[in-house]
Structure 1
Amino acid sequence: MKIISWNIDSLNAALTSDSNRALLTREILYNLKNEEPDIIAIQETKLPMGGPSKKHKEILDENFKGYDYAWLTSKEPARKGYAGTMFLYKKSITPDITYPVIGAPTTMDFEGRIITMEMENFYLINVYTPNAGSDLKRLSDRQIWDEKFADYLCKLNEKKPVIATGDFNVAHREIDLAHPDTNHFSAGFTDEERQGFSNLLARGFIDTFRLIHGDVLGTYTWWAQRVKTSKINNSGWRIDYFIVSNSLKDKIIKSEMIDSGQRQDHAPILLEIKE
């Protein structure tokens, strides 16, 4: 089975806008189908509260023939048109899809951050982890999220193996970003967030990229949009992951990034796993 995951930073814009950035995003999105994935997990869709519009659906149906989709958007009391997740999956797949509430603080459970697909032999979770925010204003809430999300995955793992993918908003180790020395107090690389990810792995999960590639340097999934030279200089962070239950370790075939060309922000990631 082949699964792709991507924080698209607005599926809404990618499908409907003609800005240069939207055109780049749309090209990447449509090219993902050439990989012939069984499933695409998308984060940060920024769709309206009511979900895909008629125009969105027409575009998806035209460009992803043979695929169904499931979505979750941000709703009150959270901000509208914020966060959001989506699965695109082949119509030959017939999963049981749920939208879990994990008991996260503030409005996090209303921001459209988790969709779960139950397959015959495993669970697949699409997650968009909350950012700790500017001045780390949301860090304490983020720590609670990390605990609640880990509890949720472990509960699923008691029933069948788990694959969790998405934007985890943390560079786990110093080798997961280009400039660790200057970022220890930056959102996504605080000791607290890194420890939260370590705690999750310690409860029975594996970072598939490190499993396959070891301690390789310089491979990232995100480059800051606001820094024009971030991608040219490869000043990136690896904050997007496929993690799996330990029991799936021997079934991982491939875990890697997909080239996103000159477009900064997130790059898609890919997992191939034996069924």
Structure 2
Amino acid sequence: MKLVSWNVNGLRACVNKGFNEYFADCDADIFCVQETKLQEGQITLDHGDKYRQYWNYAVKKGYSGTAVFTKKEPLSVTLGLEGEEDTEGRVITLEYADFYLVNAYSPNARRDLSRLEYRLGWEERFRAHLQRLDKHKPVVICGDLNVAHQEIDLKNPKSNNGNSGFTPEERQKMTELLEAGFIDTFRHLHPDVKDAYSWWSYMPKVRERNVGWRIDYFLVSARLAPAVEDARIECAVMGSDHCPVVLELNAATAPL
């Protein structure tokens, strides 16, 4: 089973920069996007009868938003986290017979860290959501989680220490999530690989020089570790300031 996740930073703009061509070429079983930045009716993606589409739109126009395109119809689809209205369109949960798929776009703490407190509270609720699901069946989590977990996950850790996306508090929340029974699939397969990033600033020549951050992830319940065949970052794919990340699972080697 092949899964793809991509923060497109505006789906309408990304469509004009090769999104549809990449989507067709990769032929994913499940394709998740974050930061769609649109409202219902503002785009039409024609994939024939091959994919079902599920959207979570932000109330604020041109902001946030997530979507999932899946070949296999899920048993159920839930928007947001339990007990709260997801006005920013950040989470979609699809339930399948043998696992849950959670597509997430974590809040950014902002450059001045004015939203750090909100971000940390959201992380607590998000982890609780995943743990509730994990009690019933394995979980596959993907998306822009807006944190570089370890120093190896960004080009300049010393100069960025304490900055949004690399604060001790945000990194600790990722540690707590992994300790709650989930694995970072890329680091599971590639623990020591350096210079592997999924986001680059739009500043001149930053991407060209690969001065990036790895903030886009596929996490899975620990018991799915034997099923992880490949976890990769497709850094050559353009169209956004992020690139797609890919997970391939073998259902024959784990409970899927």
Q: CA RMSD in A?
A: 1.7
Paired residues, what number? 251
- The gaps in structure 2 that reach 5 residues or longer are 252-256
Q: Who is 2:50 aligned against?
A: 66
Q: Is the alpha carbon distance of 1:273 and 1:123 closer, same or farther for their aligned partners in structure 2, counting shifts above 3 Å?
A: same
Match of 1:154 among 125, 131, 142: 131
**What is the CA distance between 1:128 and its match in structure 2?**
0.3
Q: Who is 2:254 aligned against?
A: none
**What is the CA distance between 1:98 and its match in structure 2?**
1.1
Q: Who is 2:80 aligned against?
A: 100
Q: Is the alpha carbon distance of 1:10 and 1:264 closer, same or farther for their aligned partners in structure 2, counting shifts above 3 Å?
A: closer
Q: Who is 1:266 aligned against?
A: 242
Q: Retained in 1: the 8 A contact 2:51–2:69?
A: yes
Q: Which amino acid aligns with 1:268?
A: P
Question: Per-residue displacement from partner, 1:80-124 (whole Å, max 9, x unpaired)?
Answer: 23100000111x4344211133457xxx83100000010111000
State how far apart, in whole Å, the 2-side matches of 1:191 and 1:42 are: 27
TM-score, normalization by structure 1:
0.87
Q: Who is 1:238 aligned against?
A: 214
Task: Tell which has more relative contact order, 1 or 2 (C-alpha 8 A, sep 6+).
Answer: 2
**What is the CA distance between 1:4 and its match in structure 2?**
0.3
**What is the CA distance between 1:259 and its match in structure 2?**
3.4
State how far apart, in whole Å, the 1-side matches of 2:240 and 2:49 are: 28
The question of 1:189 aligning with 2:166 is answered: yes
State how far apart, in whole Å, the 2-side matches of 1:144 and 1:47 are: 26
Q: Is the alpha carbon distance of 1:116 and 1:35 closer, same or farther for their aligned partners in structure 2, counting shifts above 3 Å?
A: same
Match of 2:86 among 93, 109, 112: 109
Match of 1:47 among 38, 49, 68: 38
- The gaps in structure 1 that reach 5 residues or longer are 16-22
The question of 1:84 aligning with 2:65 is answered: yes
Q: From the two aligned structures, give the one with the greater helix fraction.
A: 1
State how far apart, in whole Å, the 1-side matches of 2:96 and 2:193 are: 32
The question of 1:121 aligning with 2:98 is answered: yes
Segments of 4+ moved more than 3 angstroms: 92-95, 259-264
Question: Per-residue displacement from partner, 1:197-225 (whole Å, max 9, x unpaired)?
Answer: 00000000000000111121000000001
Per the alignment, in what secondary structure is the counterpart of residue 147 of structure 1? helix
Per the alignment, in what secondary structure is the counterpart of residue 235 of structure 2? coil
Q: Is the alpha carbon distance of 1:6 and 1:29 closer, same or farther for their aligned partners in structure 2, counting shifts above 3 Å?
A: farther
The question of 1:141 aligning with 2:130 is answered: no
Q: Is the alpha carbon distance of 1:262 and 1:37 closer, same or farther for their aligned partners in structure 2, counting shifts above 3 Å?
A: closer
**What is the CA distance between 1:68 and its match in structure 2?**
1.5
**What is the CA distance between 1:186 and its match in structure 2?**
1.1
Matched residues, percent identical? 41
